[in-house]
Structure formats: C-alpha cells, structure tokens
C-alpha cells in the first residue's frame, strides 16, 4: 500500500563511523535517540569483531567495532519507541542457545521491539583472527541452517528454560544477496529477507519471483514474506548539494574502490539526490512490496559522517512517503 513505507537508520558503530574517528557506546545510543526524535521507525547495528578496509584495497588494519547485542541492550534502555535490529549476526560466532537468550532478554528489555537478523558471515579476516573456521560458502550456510533450527526451537519450545521473548514469534530476518539457498532458509524460518547496500529497484524486481518460488516450495503464502532493503545515500536539499556530498564521499573513500564511480552510477542503486528524487526511488521500492528502507547515510556502512544527510532525509523525504 502506497504511503506505508517504514524507515530505518544504520547507526554509527565503527571507528570510521563518525567525523571524530572514534566510536563509543554513547555515540550509538545518542544517535538512536536522535533517530527516534526525527521519526525513524527502526535503528540497526551490524555484527563484526572488527572492520577492515582491505576489501577496498586500503589499510588492512582492524578497525574498532561495537558488539551489537550488548549495544542493543543499552539502546533498548535509552529509547522508547524505535525498533531495534541487527543486520546481521554471523551465525558461526555464537551458539544458537546464547543468541536465543540474548535476543529474548533484549526483546523483554525493549518491550517487544527487537528484529533479529542472521547471516552466514563473509569477512574472512575476522573468522581467522578469532579462530573460527571460515570454510566454504556451502559450509557457512550449513552452520546458518543449523543455527536457525536451534534458535527457532529455543525461542518457541514451551520446555525451554527461557526467558521467552515478548513478541510471539520474535521476528527473524535473513540477510544476503537473495540466492536460492538463502531464500529457501528465509521462507522456512524467517519473517523475511533483507538485502544491502547497493540495490536498484530493477535488481530487486528480478528477485520478487524468486521469493514467490521459494515460498511455494516451502508451502508458505508469499504474502506473509516480508522484504526490507538497506541503501547507502547522499541526500541534499538540491541535486547539486547531494552531488557535492557524493564527491566528498568519493574523495575520502579508502583505497581506490570508488575511483571510477560517477554520480550517475551512484544514483542508480542508492538513495541519493534531491528530496524529490529520493522520494521517487522510495516509491519505486514500495511498488515492489518492500516495507522498509534502511538508510546508511554515506558510502560506508554504519557511518554518519555528514549528519545533515540524516536530517534532510527525515524532514523532506520520510513525511512525504507516509
């Protein structure tokens, strides 16, 4: 239904996330409160022991990261309305029973506001650094499936020692590109599927039939399967303003990964441009059945390097799309 889009904000979480070059729990909690005040529906963290710019061809040194479950507990205590989510927990990092207890505790602490995202994990450096087997993508998906099975059992079994979550069922989301294995698991175990951070409406439209097929194979009504999308964004009061923000992001980006990026290629699969251009992009996703868009307001994930982007989005885009 047009006019019912929800909006989330990817919170600062890493050493690169803020202009200060430092990150603390107070920063994440403060931005969650600010997002709530600005009218966002949800706030999100990700799950890494550390981040690395090696994938961009830059300095491979580990970058500090907040642990998401403990940080979400603090955010739950510091907010009242906004939903709290993680995009996404790496299945191999924690026993599923521990995840179930932590998730249920956060859901109770927040009064039933948790969205629990899970994925197979992808950053090999952190698996190796902390002694986890990285394996093949097939092996990691095997771990993900076992985790989903045990997690679901722990959260729903009346004989489980608990605590039980407020929400029944607790919303579980799977994050990934949307290949057949992931959509099969999502259709079987999850509330829905999230994909990030560069996705065009055309890309997403091509996956809608795949979602329906996965649901059909699992005997699930596709209408019950929810979809959300996270997107980078450089937004300004005018297109020239937004383009200038993009140029600053490109110039400061680590390594050479954005060297050949143009404004046109950037706009094609991000939330970027003037408010009206971004509203048009939101409407395109809404027409495809996407229920929530999560803004990561820069060219790096979970970074708020120009807070004005968040403010322009909240004041000039969100009200028009509700």
pLDDT at residue number 66: 98
The beta-strand segments (E) located in 93-240 are 114-119, 172-175, 192-195, 226-232
Is 117 strand, coil or helix? strand
- What would you measure as the largest C-alpha separation in the chain, in angstroms? 59
Looking at the 3D structure of the chain, how many domains does it have?
1
pLDDT at residue number 132: 94
pLDDT at residue number 2: 62
Residue 78: which domain range?
Answer: 6-321
pLDDT at residue number 65: 98
Give the end-to-end CA distance of the chain in Å, rounded to a whole number: 10
Mean pLDDT, residues 229-250 taken together? 98
Q: What percent of the chain has pLDDT over 70?
A: 99
Q: Yes or no: say if 8 and 43 are a contact pair by the CB < 8 Å rule.
A: yes
Report yes or no on 11 lying in a domain: yes
Of the pLDDT bands very low, low, confident and very high (cuts 50, 70, 90), residue 1 is low
Report yes or no on 69 lying in a domain: yes
Q: How far is CA 254 from CA 53, 84, 191, 299, 301, in A?
A: 7, 29, 35, 10, 13
Report yes or no on 102 lying in a domain: yes
Q: Yes or no: say if 41 and 33 are a contact pair by the CB < 8 Å rule.
A: no
pLDDT at residue number 161: 83
Report yes or no on 287 lying in a domain: yes
Q: Yes or no: say if 178 and 213 are a contact pair by the CB < 8 Å rule.
A: no
Rounded CA separation 98/67 (Å): 14
Rounded CA separation 245/272 (Å): 10
Q: Yes or no: say if 43 and 302 are a contact pair by the CB < 8 Å rule.
A: no
Q: What percent of the chain has pLDDT over 90?
A: 96
Report yes or no on 91 lying in a domain: yes
Rounded CA separation 45/321 (Å): 24
Q: Yes or no: say if 313 and 297 are a contact pair by the CB < 8 Å rule.
A: yes
User: What does the angle CA 94 – CA 97 – CA 101 come to, to the nearest 5 degrees?
Assistant: 100
Q: Which residues pair with 228 in a beta bridge?
A: 194, 292
The answer to pTM > 0.85 is yes
Of the pLDDT bands very low, low, confident and very high (cuts 50, 70, 90), residue 242 is very high
Rounded CA separation 315/297 (Å): 14
Please provide the DSSP assignment of 5-28 as one string.
-EEEEEPP-BTTSSTTS---HHHH
> Considering the chain, what is the average pLDDT of its residues?
96
Report yes or no on 1 lying in a domain: no
Helix H, strand E, coil C: the string for 149-178 is HHHHHHHHCCCCCCCCCCCCCCCEEEECCC
Of the pLDDT bands very low, low, confident and very high (cuts 50, 70, 90), residue 157 is confident
CATH of the domain at 61: 3.20.20.30
- The pLDDT of residue 192 is above 90: yes
Of the pLDDT bands very low, low, confident and very high (cuts 50, 70, 90), residue 158 is confident
**Residue whose C-alpha is closest to residue 22's, from 64, 71, 84:** 64
Mean pLDDT, residues 22-41 taken together? 98
Report yes or no on 152 lying in a domain: yes
């Amino acid at each position: 239904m047009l006019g019912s889009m929800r909006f989330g904000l990817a919170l600062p979480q890493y050493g690169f996330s803020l202009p200060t070059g430092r990150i603390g729990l107070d920063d994440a909690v403060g931005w969650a409160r600010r997002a709530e005040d600005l009218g966002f529906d949800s706030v999100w963290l990700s799950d890494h022991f550390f981040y690395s710019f090696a994938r961009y061809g830059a300095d491979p040194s580990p970058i500090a990261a907040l642990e998401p479950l403990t940080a979400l507990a603090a955010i739950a205590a510091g907010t009242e309305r906004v939903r709290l989510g993680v995009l996404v927990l790496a299945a191999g990092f924690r026993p599923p029973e521990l995840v179930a207890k932590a998730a249920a505790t956060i859901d109770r602490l927040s009064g039933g506001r948790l969205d629990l995202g899970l994925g197979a994990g992808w950053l090999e450096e952190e698996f190796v650094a902390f002694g986890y087997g990285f394996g093949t993508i097939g092996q990691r998906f095997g771990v993900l499936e076992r985790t989903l099975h045990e997690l679901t059992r722990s959260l729903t079994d009346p004989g489980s020692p608990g605590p039980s979550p407020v929400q029944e069922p607790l919303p579980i989301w799977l994050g990934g590109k949307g290949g057949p294995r992931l959509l099969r698991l999502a259709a079987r175990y999850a509330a829905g599927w999230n994909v990030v951070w560069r996705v065009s409406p055309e890309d997403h439209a091509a996956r809608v039939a795949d979602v329906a097929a996965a649901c059909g194979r699992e005997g699930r009504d596709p209408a019950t399967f929810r979809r959300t999308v996270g997107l980078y964004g450089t937004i300004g009061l005018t297109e020239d303003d937004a383009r200038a923000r993009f140029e600053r992001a490109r110039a400061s980006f680590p390594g050479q990964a954005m060297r050949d990026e143009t404004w046109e290629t950037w706009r094609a699969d991000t939330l970027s441009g003037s408010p009206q251009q971004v509203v048009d992009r939101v409407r395109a996703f809404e027409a495809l059945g996407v229920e929530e868009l999560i803004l990561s307001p820069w060219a790096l994930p979970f970074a708020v390097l120009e807070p004005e982007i968040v403010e322009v989005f909240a004041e000039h885009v969100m009200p028009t799309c509700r």
